[in-house]
Chain A
Amino acid sequence: MEKTWNNKAWLMVLPVLVLVAFSAVIPLMTVVNYSVQDTFGGNQFFWAGAEWFQEMLHSDRFWAAMGRNLIFSAIILAIQIPLGIFIALNMPRKGWGVPVCLVLMALPLLIPWNVVGTIWQVFGRIDIGLLGYTLHALGFDYNYVNDPFDAWVTVIIMDVWHWTSLVVLLCYAGLVSIPDAFYQAAKIDGASRWAVFRYIQLPKMQRVLLIAVLLRFMDSFMIYTEPFVVTGGGPGNSTTFLSIDLVKMAVGQFDLGPAAAMSIIYFLIVLLLSWVFYTVMTNYDVEK
Chain B
Amino acid sequence: MARIDLNHIRHAYGANPKSDKDYALREVHHSFDDGGAYALLGPSGCGKTTLLNIISGLLHASHGQLLFDGKDVTRLSTQERNIAQVFQFPVIYDTMTVYDNLAFPLRNRGVAEADVDRKVRETLDMIDLASWAKRKARGLTADQKQKISLGRGLVRSDVNAILFDEPLTVIDPHMKWVLRSQLKQLHRRFGYTMIYVTHDQTEALTFAEKVVVMYDGEIVQIGTPAELFERPKHTFVGYFIGSPGMNVMPVSVEGNRARLGGQVIDLPGSPKAEGNEIELGIRPEYVRLGAAGMPVTVRKVEDIGRHKVVRASLEGREIAAILGEDDQVPADARVTFDPAGINLYDKSWRVEMGA
Which residues in B have their C-beta under 8 angstroms from that of A189? 104-105, 108, 152
A181 close to B93 (CB less than 8 A): no
Min C-beta distance of A202 to chain B, whole Å: 8
Most chain A beta carbons < 10 A, residue from B93, B96, B136: B93
- A-B contacts, CB under 8 A, total: 55
A181 vs B52: C-alpha distance in the bound complex, in angstroms?
13
**Does B140 interact with chain A (Cβ within 8 Å)?**
no
A285 close to B78 (CB less than 8 A): no
Interface residues of A in 245-260 (CB under 8 A from B): none
> Contact check: which of A181, A188, A199 meets B78 at CB < 8 Å?
A188
A185 close to B91 (CB less than 8 A): yes
**Does A75 interact with chain B (Cβ within 8 Å)?**
no
Which residues in B have their C-beta under 8 angstroms from that of A184? 53, 58, 78, 85, 87, 91
Per-residue B-contact encoding for A174-192, CB less than 8 Å = 1, 0 else: 0000010110110111111
**Does B50 interact with chain A (Cβ within 8 Å)?**
no
**Does A70 interact with chain B (Cβ within 8 Å)?**
no
Interface residues of A in 187-221 (CB under 8 A from B): 187-192, 195, 199-200, 203
**A199-B93, A203-B95 in contact; A187/B78 too (CB < 8 A)?**
yes
Interface residues of A in 234-288 (CB under 8 A from B): 285, 288
- Using CB atoms, name the residue of chain B closest to A192: B108
B85 close to A188 (CB less than 8 A): yes
- Using CB atoms, name the residue of chain B closest to A200: B93
B95 close to A285 (CB less than 8 A): yes
Which residues in A have their C-beta under 8 angstroms from that of B89? 179, 181
Which residues in A have their C-beta under 8 angstroms from that of B83? 188
A181 close to B88 (CB less than 8 A): yes
A187 close to B58 (CB less than 8 A): yes
A185 close to B94 (CB less than 8 A): no
Which residues in B have their C-beta under 8 angstroms from that of A190? 79, 105, 108-109
Q: Would you call the interface of chain A mostly helix, strand, loop, or mixed?
A: helix
**Does B343 interact with chain A (Cβ within 8 Å)?**
no
**Does B98 interact with chain A (Cβ within 8 Å)?**
no
A192 vs B152: C-alpha distance in the bound complex, in angstroms?
16
Which residues in B have their C-beta under 8 angstroms from that of A187? 58, 77-79
A191 close to B108 (CB less than 8 A): yes
B149 close to A185 (CB less than 8 A): yes
Which residues in B have their C-beta under 8 angstroms from that of A181? 87-89, 91
Most chain B beta carbons < 10 A, residue from A187, A190, A192: A190
Most chain B beta carbons < 10 A, residue from A179, A185, A191: A185
**Does B193 interact with chain A (Cβ within 8 Å)?**
no
Per-residue B-contact encoding for A28-52, CB less than 8 Å = 1, 0 else: 0000000000000000000000000
A126 vs B77: C-alpha distance in the bound complex, in angstroms?
55
Per-residue A-contact encoding for B105-118, CB less than 8 Å = 1, 0 else: 10011000000000
**Does B84 interact with chain A (Cβ within 8 Å)?**
yes
Which residues in B have their C-beta under 8 angstroms from that of A203? 93-95
Min C-beta distance of B17 to chain A, whole Å: 20
A285 vs B83: C-alpha distance in the bound complex, in angstroms?
31
**Does B56 interact with chain A (Cβ within 8 Å)?**
yes
- Using CB atoms, name the residue of chain A closest to B84: A188
Which residues in A have their C-beta under 8 angstroms from that of B105? 188-190
Per-residue A-contact encoding for B69-87, CB less than 8 Å = 1, 0 else: 0000000011100011101
Min C-beta distance of B119 to chain A, whole Å: 14
Which residues in A have their C-beta under 8 angstroms from that of B153? 188
Which residues in A have their C-beta under 8 angstroms from that of B79? 187-188, 190
- Using CB atoms, name the residue of chain B closest to A204: B94
> Contact check: which of B53, B58, B77, B104 meets A191 at CB < 8 Å?
B104
A190 vs B111: C-alpha distance in the bound complex, in angstroms?
12
Min C-beta distance of A201 to chain B, whole Å: 11
Per-residue B-contact encoding for A148-192, CB less than 8 Å = 1, 0 else: 000000000000000000000000000000010110110111111
- Using CB atoms, name the residue of chain A closest to B109: A190
Most chain B beta carbons < 10 A, residue from A187, A189, A200, A203: A189
Min C-beta distance of A194 to chain B, whole Å: 11
Which residues in B have their C-beta under 8 angstroms from that of A192? 108
Interface residues of B in 34-93 (CB under 8 A from A): 53, 56, 58, 77-79, 83-85, 87-89, 91, 93
Min C-beta distance of B319 to chain A, whole Å: 43
Min C-beta distance of A170 to chain B, whole Å: 19
Interface residues of B in 154-186 (CB under 8 A from A): none
Which residues in A have their C-beta under 8 angstroms from that of B87? 181, 184-185
* Residues of A bordering B, CB below 8 Å: 179, 181-182, 184-185, 187-192, 195, 199-200, 203, 285, 288
Closest 8 CB pairs of A and B: A185-B91, A190-B108, A189-B105, A181-B87, A199-B93, A187-B78, A190-B79, A203-B95
Give 5 new A-B contacts, CB below 8 A, not counting A187-B78, A188-B105, A190-B109. Answer: A181-B91, A182-B91, A187-B77, A188-B83, A192-B108
21 pairs, A vs B, C-beta closer than 8 Å: A181-B89, A184-B58, A184-B78, A184-B87, A185-B85, A187-B77, A188-B79, A188-B84, A188-B85, A188-B105, A188-B153, A189-B104, A189-B152, A190-B79, A190-B109, A191-B104, A195-B108, A199-B93, A200-B93, A285-B94, A285-B136
